[in-house]
Structure 1
Amino acid sequence: METPKMKTYSLGEMKDKHIGPIGSNERDEYEYELRMEVLGKMIKTTRRERNLTQEELGKLVGVQKAQISKLESSTNSATIDTILKVFSAMKAEINFNVRLEDNFVKL
């Protein structure tokens, strides 16, 4: 007996169906929150690699421990300046890439 074939969907198709198409407000908000979550995890991972507590990193950056906690848990949208200060305090390099169509903009 042959089993029926299940339809498979790409991640993009699932996002389109359940979140909204690219360019919609819902999709833009989702993508932004996802990037902030990844950034928070990067900050936390780097801090731990440097064997720093949130309080110690806060002192290096000039902010309270609570601000570092918010950055790591992605509950606070950070400015680029703050992000650069955090990674600089940990002596970590961070790169931003801008792509226009098929070309990357280099600074």
Structure 2
Amino acid sequence: MAKTQMKSYSLAEMKDKYIGKKGTKEREQYEYELRMDVLGRMIKQARQERNLTQEQLGELVGVQKAQISKLESSANSATIDTIIRVFKALKADIHFNVTIENRQLELH
């Protein structure tokens, strides 16, 4: 019996084929949602490491428990101000990277 050779694809190739090539509206939306999902998980992990409930974190930030829950499941609906307040309440350092025309901007 002959073995059949299967072609393998990289993750980048799969994204290009099924989501869209870099620079397309669909791909940009996918990448944005992925980053927001990761941000939400980072908030949850930091909260749990501080042994805080969602309700306790909400009190520190000045929002309802439901907003913390929503933020942890996906940061899509949160304002940057809320995200910053959450990380400050968690006593976490925040670092932003901004790239404009292939140049990295640094905030001092």
TM-score by length of 1: 0.90
Aligned length: 106
- CA displacement 1:30-78 (0-9 Å, x = unmatched): 1111111100000000000000000000000000000000000116421
CA-atom RMSD in angstroms: 1.5
2:4 alignment partner in structure 1: 4
Counterpart-to-counterpart distance in 2, 1:50 and 1:68: 15
Check the 8 A contact 1:61/1:89 in 2, yes or no.
yes
Deviation above 3 Å: which 4+ runs of structure 1? none
Structure 1 residue identity aligned to 2:81: D
One-letter identity of the residue aligned with 2:49: E
What TM-score do the two structures reach when normalised by structure 2? Answer: 0.89
Contiguous gaps of at least 5 residues in structure 1: none
Task: Give me the whole-angstrom Cα distance separating, in 2, the residues matched to 1:104 and 1:40.
Answer: 24
Matched position secondary structure for 1:43:
helix
Asked whether the 8 Å contact 2:40–2:71 carries over to 1, the reply is yes
Extract unaligned runs of 5+ from structure 2: none
